Amino acid sequence: MSDYMMDLRKLVGHRPLMQCAASVIIENEKGEILLGKRTDNHKWGYSGGSIELGETIEDCARRELKEEFGLIAEELKFFMINSGERTHYIYPNGDEVYNVEIVYTCSKYHGTLTPQKEEMSQARFFALDELPSELSDPIIPVFEAYVKSRKKENGN
């Protein structure tokens, strides 16, 4: 959690907050996507997190990818904005948010895949037709849109 969000939590407790976040869906050369199994809710998700005060969305996306997976994005492509009722989430500690998430894709990256142990218990690439069923709830709309867009690109 960002310092900004931690400071707000001291003031508002667990009440709902609007959280602006940036995320990155990493695609490898086989068209598989990188997911990490979160340590807080034990569900799978892509890299992402809340934006710090004064930070650009793109810098946040790059920072979160480096922190969570040890990878450096060479190129980010805007994919979508995930917002609305389906992004409502209650963290295991009781903190409640409505996310406004700017999602990028990235197929040009480098580094050594190193999941951050505090946030991810494991990381691996998944084929689109083999995504795990236990995805983190607020990002399910993104996966639905992502799979649909890839099928459309492939003429399916």
**Residue 23 domain-assigned (yes or no):** yes
CA-to-CA dists, residue 18 to 10, 72, 94, 96, 134, angstroms: 15, 28, 15, 9, 24
Share of the chain above pLDDT 90, in %: 85
CATH classification at residue 46: 3.90.79.10
3-state secondary structure 77-146: EEEEEECCHHHEEECCCCCEEEEEEEEEEEEEEEECCCCCCCCEEEEEEECHHHCCCCECHHHHHHHHHH
Burial class (CB in 10 A: 0-12, 13-18, 19+), 125: middle
What does pLDDT average to over the chain?
93
- Mean pLDDT on 122-146: 93
* Residue 6 domain-assigned (yes or no): no
CB 65 within 8 A of CB 72: yes
Residue 3 lies in a domain: no
Residue 64 located in a structural domain? yes
For range 19-48, the mean pLDDT: 96
Q: Is residue 7 one of the residues assigned to a domain?
A: no
pLDDT at 1: 62
Measured torsion, CA atoms of residues 44, 119, 57, 34, in degrees rounded to the nearest 10 = -40
Model confidence at 17: pLDDT above 90: yes
Print the domain residue range for 144: 13-153
Looking at the structure of the chain, the number of domains it has is: 1
Which residue shows structure tokens 């689109």?
128
Does 82 map to a domain? yes
- Between CA 90 and CA 15 the distance in angstroms is 10
Residue 8 lies in a domain: no
pTM: 0.92
| CA angle 131–25–106, rounded 5-degree value | 135
Which tokens is 103 given? Answer: 């999602």
pLDDT of residue 156: 67
**5, part of any domain:** no
